[in-house]
Amino acid sequence: MKISNFFIFSFFLITGFLWGVRVEGLRHHHHHHHRHQNSHNNPKSYKNDQKDHQFYNFKPTKMFVFGDSYVDTGNNRKSMANSWKQPYGLTFPGKPSGRFSDGRVLTDYLAKFLGLKSPVPYRWMKYATNRLRYGINFAYGGTGVFNTTVPEPNMTTQIDFFQKLMAESVYTKADIEQSLFLLSLAGNDYGAYLANGGTVQDIPAFITSVVNQLVVNMKRVNKLGAKKIAVTALEPLGCLPQSTILNSFQQCNATENIAVDLHNSLLQQAVAKLNNETMGSTFVILDLFSSFNSVLASKGVQGSTRFETPLKPCCMGISNKYSCGSMNVKGEKMYTVCNDPKSAFFWDTVHPTEAGWHAVYTNLKSTLTQKIL
Whole-number Å distance between alpha carbons of 309 and 157: 39
Q: Which of 102, 108, 189, 348 is catalytic?
A: 348
Which is the catalytic residue, given 34, 263, 351, 358? 351
Instruction: Report the Cα 198 to chain-centroid distance in Å.
Output: 23
| Helical ranges in 155-202 per DSSP H | 155-167, 173-177, 188-195
Cβ within 8 Å of residue 246, ≥6 positions away = 17, 253
Cβ burial 222-258 (10 Å sphere, 16+ → b, else e): bebbbbbbbbbbbbbbbbbbbbbbeeebeebbebbbb
How does strand 315-317 pair with strand 335-337? Answer: antiparallel
Pair 15, 134: CB distance under 8 Å = no
Pairing outcome for strands 179-183 and 228-232: parallel
Angstrom distance (rounded) from CA 93 to CA 118? 13
Of the candidates 69, 83, 243, 281, the residue annotated as catalytic is 69
SS3 161: helix
Q: What is the C-alpha to C-alpha distance for residues 111 and 299, in angstroms, rounded to an integer?
A: 28
For 181, the 3-state DSSP assignment is strand
Is 351 assigned a catalytic role? yes
Q: Which residues are catalytic?
A: 69, 348, 351
